[in-house]
Structure 1
Amino acid sequence: MGKQIVRSGDVRLAVWTAGDPAHPTVVLVHGYPDTHVVWDEVVAVLAEDFHVVTFDNRGAGASDCPAGIEPYRIEQLAADLLAVIDAVSPEQPVHLVGHDWGSILAWELVTDPAAADRIASFTSVAGPCLDHVGHWMRGWAAHPRASAAQLVRSWYVAAFQVPGLGTLPWRLGLGSAWDALLARVDGVPRRERVRSRGADGEIGVRLYRANIARRLRHPGERRTEVPVQVVHAAGDHFVGPDMGSDAHRWVPRLWRRTLAATHWAPLTHGPALARMITELVDHVRGAPAPALTRTAREGEFGGKLVLVTGAGSGIGRATAHAFAQLGAEVVAVDVDAAAAAHTAGQVDGHAFAVDVSDEAAMRKLADEVVAAHGVPDVVVNNAGIGHSGTFLATTPDEWRRVLDVNLWGVIHGCREFGARLVERGEGGHVVNVASAAAWLPATDLAAYSTSKAAVAMLSDCLRGELAAHGIGVSTICPGLIDTNITRTSTFSGLDDAAQDARRAHAAAVYGRRNFRPEGVAREIVDAVRRSKAVVPVTPEATVVRLLSRLSPGLLRTLAASGLDRGAPVAR
């Protein structure tokens, strides 16, 4: 990594470069109380494809530290940034990335018409435009709770306005304890200590005193035509998701994205952040970027991609419709290509035909979906088949068929899409459709109940594992649902005529129950919305679950006495 000195007026700025200078230039701007090293993980990834530039802001690290408050006005820092850009890429515009105060000062340059031709794109992480925030705060009556929540988050900003108060902790040794504090509070990996941390923290308080009050009191009209993506860290203790949420008023080419990280995303999610930066740069340069070009439909799930297996009929089709009605873009997956296409046509989505029990086919499906549409934000593993038979009557082939679809199909869906959700780093949700039969030790449902109980336990295990990545997992357990599963279920030890008779009987029972798939779909949407862990859908499912907890012996007695005769207790 090369180092050079760039002058901005009387201030000398320490600048580092990595990667091939012939490649597009990406300039990374750090925040408070950091130095350029906060970007090390991001630089390591970006340098493979870009010319990457980092530098220490005035008052930090190896750059000069002017005395007083006035030199730390945001206009001065924006001039420093422009000086760096002109030095490292005098002929071509750069792609700008800012974190925390680095993002705040970058907004100043991005919204300056005189600098518009010097910036090709801007990725803002955890640092909104102060002027946009000023306008947002003035409209507090439209969002009183969000405004109040942000004031609580920003308690330290008020403290920093008191002379001497903001610098006191740094003078008392906070710099030497800073990395340990971040590790304990936000899980930031311990790293080599920045020796200037204490001085950086103390001097950086001047940023707040020089800029916050005057900009929030008198916000300007900061507009830009530069393509901007705003990355919100879901676990950010300082910047709420709503602050500056009306920036689209001034930024027509704006994308909002969420990273499953804390405020210190460059330190904890460097590769994921580097991928987001790359996606915007590539998109600006003309390459496909599914996550940025997805149709922004109106609704609660607008801009989200939802994949549903078993979407050709029943609960799967109803779930596809429910998410589409709320603005989601839907990928309908079914073993029946025509049925998948029919559902996709109804919801203006995308159809894929696949056997969920086939591991290789599911991996190919995941690759194709991600390449064409991006990583799904919500994955609903719904595909399943019904089967009735006692343990001894159920043949090994019947066991394999039930477990291959009902359990392995869910496992394949969770593995292929779960891994990609984790790698993406933006959170998400996985829904696994089980059944009330998961709690019912039914003598006529040996294979079916076992497969659904396994799905429920798999979901519980996965929920704990994926929580750290901001990914929720819900288990949906319907009872008697009027779907075509009753018309396609199989029964052990019966000839074709007897099978048809049992199917007709089951269909009649479920038809009289008349609980429609749309009711399950509503519960699935609500489970994603509220990140519910386990959802018994129907009254009978609730009763079975309650009995399984309070009186499992009674439930076994009822099941053995013939509670389950006639049809699988399932959707």
Structure 2
Amino acid sequence: MSLKGARERRVHTGGIELCVAELGDPAHPTVVLIHGYPDSKEVWAEVAERLADRFHVVLYDVRGHGRSSAPKPLRGGFTLEKLTDDFLAVADAVSPDRPVHLVGHDWGSVQSWEFVTVQRTEGRIASFTSISGPSLDHFGHWLKKRLTRPTPRRVAQFLGQGARSWYVYLLQIPVLPELAWRGPLGKRWPSMVRRAEGLPRDGYPTASLPEDAAHGAWLYRDNVRSRLSRPRTDAYAQVPVQLITPTRDDFLSERLFDDLSGWVPELTRRTLPAKHWVPRTRPDQVSTWIADFTLAQEKAISTPGGRASVTPETTRATRATRATRATRATRRKAMSQKPYTERFGGQLVLVTGAASGIGRATAFAFAEAGARIVAVDRDAEGAERTAELSRLIGAPDAWAEVVDVSDAEAMEKLAVRVAAEYGVVDILINNAGIGLSGPFLKTTPQEWKDVLDVNLWGVIHGCRLFGRQMAERGQGGHIVNIASAAAYQPSKSLPAYSTSKAAVLMLSECLRAELSQQDIGVSAICPGFVHTNITSTARFAGVDEAEQQRLRERSTRWYGLRNYPPERVAEAVLRATLRNEAVVPVTPEARGAQLLSRFAPGVLRRIARLEPPL
């Protein structure tokens, strides 16, 4: 594969020649993309093309990779100090007068951590985006903490990362890795990594892979053992850092970054429900985050007064000041939100029925966690208001889409439009629903159709269309279907509504079994009596319009007295998504009904004879 429209130059440093490619206008801010092992710069092709219209994008083959020459001898030629020399030579050649924004993946991130923490690069880097590659110094301190102060959790983390690092041990063996890469492993690697990671068939990896991998083994031999055993104590980041963590990475545990805030004064964390090679599998999301972070740092730099330099002393002082100013309530809130912001930040969440009630509250909850929101509803004004408020709350982006979920053709068009304009949905919330109360014998076929079209077919359309996109992407995802306690609590006055919600519950269970093979979780949320506007729009079978209005007002008053807010349901949705819970009864009455359905179904049948408020 090639980098379309790239301009190439050669940069000489330390007796080697680096192949450097550039895209975009050199007058724009410079973004330097550094590849990992066993890659070449072409791993960034999709990301680079997306960034080139707004940035001066620079990629180079690390020494010994792609079309850059290898040091002679190889031993000692790949130390972090020499890799830093290479970076500075490239930065001076492509952006001599302005600091560059650094982005690294895998070993590109490992070496970039060195660049942003050593004194001799001060003033040459404006920001750093780290993807799937820790600082060896931070990793060394992480290991020492778990060995010298063990707890059951720390021991488990140590053993877990040790198992993921199996390849590091093999690369320390002399000669054998080189023979494997130049032999059968080099031939089979492209198909192996495509199957394991879901990579597209587009000519990646390049033909230089066997030699790249053989040379790159010295990255590990020259650095890993020495740095992990004697990590630097001054490895503080001098610039703002954005950390992008794939949650399904087979090589790195998320726990490796638990202590990172102590080393990085200005840290932004993002997670992706993806595997290791996100520059290839998720270029849209990765390029969006890089662009947003880079532009934010450019704006900060251009602000009068600029940004003060960062030292270990200022880092500790800043942290102490923040801790002093924070109240206990603020700290508790920050800790409670942390799992959500780290897990959902930047993910694309689509919510149906988002104009009000549980849908709007759920959109807001994900927005507060930093997710991008697609608010879907047939109420155009309400959907737009939800999107607008989501952006104010914290969503990086939020869009409104107007559609009737019961319309199969309209939902097909929505799925195509969302994928094309915003990307594949990471989390789908099928929330849209309508209420219908009244005896079975008084419920007309049209009323049955109306309820099933929205409450059941709307969910089916969403799961089928967006679930298929998740499966085809091959990077997992999550589907949340809003059912109801009525799914397992029978009622003589809710036959149509209860039937539709029971079907949603069983659909969710079936989908959970099927889609687990694609790493897609499915949760069914079962609220009870929640104070939303469903009571003001619900229909009552077999009564005239005047009686309709009277019954709506009665139900609204009853639900108002119950006063269970939709925000509590939204919290349950986030928690279920985070934990991949199967069935979640939310309110006390929903939990009680679930217990009775298992252990005392006869009691539920007697309760079913009572008149409910809806």
TM-score by length of 1: 0.76
- 2:306 alignment partner in structure 1: none
Corresponding residue of 1:301: 337
Equivalent of 2:235 in 213, 222, 238? 222
In structure 1, give the amino acid aligned to 2:216: G
In structure 2, give the amino acid aligned to 1:299: M
Structure 1 vs Structure 2 CA RMSD: 5.1
Residue from 114, 117, 121 that aligns with 1:108:
114
Q: Cα gap change, 1:422/1:97 in structure 2, threshold over 3 Å: closer, same or farther?
A: farther
Q: Are the structure 2 counterparts of residues 479 and 151 from structure 1 closer, same or farther at C-alpha, using a change threshold of 3 Å?
A: same
Q: Give secondary structure in 2 for the equivalent of 1:301.
A: helix
CA-to-partner distance for each residue in 1:387-430, whole Å, 9 max, x for gaps?
Answer: 22345523477457645764577689889999999999997655
Taking structure 1 as reference, are residues 466 and 117 closer, same or farther at Cα in structure 2, changes over 3 Å only?
farther
Deviation at residue 110 of structure 1 after TM alignment: 1.4
Q: Which amino acid aligns with 2:31?
A: V
Q: Alpha-carbon deviation of 1:243?
A: 1.1
Q: 1:122 to 1:423 in 2, by over 3 A?
A: farther
Query: Which residue number corresponds to residue 167 of structure 2?
Result: 156
1:283–1:397 CA distance, 2 compared to 1 (3 A): farther
Out of 188, 199, 202, the residue aligned to residue 211 of structure 2 is 199
Partner residue of 1:31 out of 25, 29, 36: 36
Instruction: Please say if residues 434 and 477 of structure 1, whose CA atoms lie closer than 8 Å, have aligned partners that are also in contact.
Output: yes
Question: Would you say how many aligned residue pairs link Structure 1 and Structure 2?
Answer: 542
Structure 1 position 172, deviation (Å):
3.8
Given that 1:29 and 1:55 are in contact with CA atoms closer than 8 Å, whether structure 2 keeps it comes out as yes
Corresponding residue for 1:449?
A: 498
Counterpart residue number, 2:65: 60
| Residue of 88, 99, 103 corresponding to 1:82 | 88
Report the CA distance shift for 1:45/1:60 in structure 2 as closer, same or farther (over 3 A): same
Is residue 459–residue 473 contact of structure 1 (8 Å, CA) maintained in 2? yes
Q: Distance in 2 between matches of 1:465 and 1:41?
A: 31
Give 2:321's aligned residue: none
Whether 1:92 and 2:145 are equivalent positions in the alignment is no
* Structure 1 counterpart of 2:311: none
Report deviation, 1:210: 0.7
Q: Does 1:278 align with 2:313?
A: no
Query: Partners of 1:512 and 1:223 in 2: how far apart?
Result: 55
Q: Indicate if the aligned counterparts of 1:234 and 1:261 stay in contact, CA closer than 8 A.
A: yes
Give the Cα–Cα distance (whole angstroms) in 2 for the partners of residues 167 and 34 of structure 1: 15
| Shift in CA distance, 398/137, structure 1 to aligned 2, threshold 3 Å | same
User: Which of 206, 212, 223 pairs up with 1:211?
Assistant: 223
| Deviation (angstroms), 1:212 | 0.8
Q: What are the residue-to-residue correspondences of 1:261-410 with 2, within 5 Å?
A: 261-286=274-299, 298-302=334-338, 303=341, 382=431, 384-391=433-440, 393-395=442-444, 398-399=447-448, 402=451, 406=455
Q: Answer with 133-142 or 24-33: which moved more.
A: 133-142
2:53 is aligned with 1:48: yes
Q: Deviations over 1:213-257 (max 9, x none)?
A: 111111111122312111111121111111133222221111111
Say which of 519, 538, 562 aligns to 2:591. 538
Alpha-carbon distance between aligned partners in 1 of 2:194 and 2:186, rounded to the nearest angstrom: 14
- 1:61 partner amino acid: G
Match of 1:242 in 2: 255
Paired position in structure 1 for 2:313? none
Instruction: Decide whether the 8 Å contact of 1:308 with 1:379 is kept in 2.
Output: yes
Q: C-alpha displacement at 1:59, in angstroms?
A: 1.5
Q: Which amino acid aligns with 1:493?
A: G
Say whether the 8 Å CA contact 1:99–1:127 is kept in structure 2: yes
Looking at structure 2, the residues matched to 18 and 353 of structure 1 have their Cα atoms a distance apart, in angstroms, of 34
Question: Displacement, 1:80?
Answer: 0.6
Following superposition, the deviation at residue 528 of structure 1 comes to 2.6
CA positional deviation for 1:18:
2.0
Residues 422/19 of structure 1: CA separation in 2 closer, same or farther (3 Å cut) = farther
Query: CA contact under 8 A between 2:8 and 2:19: conserved in structure 1?
Result: yes
Deviation string 1:422-447 (CA, Å, 9 cap, x unpaired) is 99999765533212434578664343
Q: C-alpha separation between the residues in 2 aligned to 1:278 and 1:469?
A: 30
Aligned counterparts of 2:372 and 2:77: Cα–Cα separation in 1: 52
**Whole-Å Cα distance in 2 between the matches of residues 126 and 429 of structure 1?**
22
- Mean alpha-carbon deviation: is it higher for 92-101 or for 406-415? 406-415
TM-score (norm: length of structure 2) = 0.71
Contact 1:357 1:412 in 2 (8 A): no
Q: Using the alignment, how far apart are the partners of 2:475 and 2:61 within structure 1?
A: 28
Residue 434 of structure 1: aligned partner:
483
Give, in whole Å, the separation in 2 of the partners of 1:308 and 1:257. 21
Deviation per CA, 1:284-333: give whole Å up to 9, x if none: 1239xxxxxxx996134333579988899987899899999x98999999
In 2, distance between residues paired with 1:240 and 1:54?
A: 27
CA distance in 2, matches of 1:9, 1:433: 61
1:177 to 170, 173, 188: 188
State the distance in 2 between where 1:428 and 1:357 align.
24
Note the C-alpha offset of 1:277: 1.1
- C-alpha displacement of 1:564: 5.0
CA pair 200-564 structure 1, distance change in 2 beyond 3 A:
farther
Distance 1:399 1:58 in 2: 68
Counterpart secondary structure, 1:167: helix
Tell me the amino acid that sits aligned with residue 297 of structure 2.
V
CA spacing shift, 1:244–1:317, aligned 2, 3 Å: closer
Shift of 1:481: 7.1
Q: Bigger CA drift: 424-433 or 219-228?
A: 424-433
Paired residues of 1:179 and 1:191 also in contact (CA < 8 A)? no
Q: Identity of paired residues, percent?
A: 47
- CA pair 18-144 structure 1, distance change in 2 beyond 3 A: same
Instruction: Please give the alpha-carbon distance, in whole angstroms, between the structure 2 residues aligned to 1:329 and 1:182.
Output: 29
Q: Is 2:499 the counterpart of 1:494? A: no
Task: Give the secondary-structure state (helix, strand or coil) at the position aligned to 1:432.
Answer: strand
Which 5+ residue runs of structure 1 have no aligned equivalent? 288-294, 549-553
In structure 2, the CA distance between the partners of 1:93 and 1:458, relative to structure 1 (3 Å rule), is farther
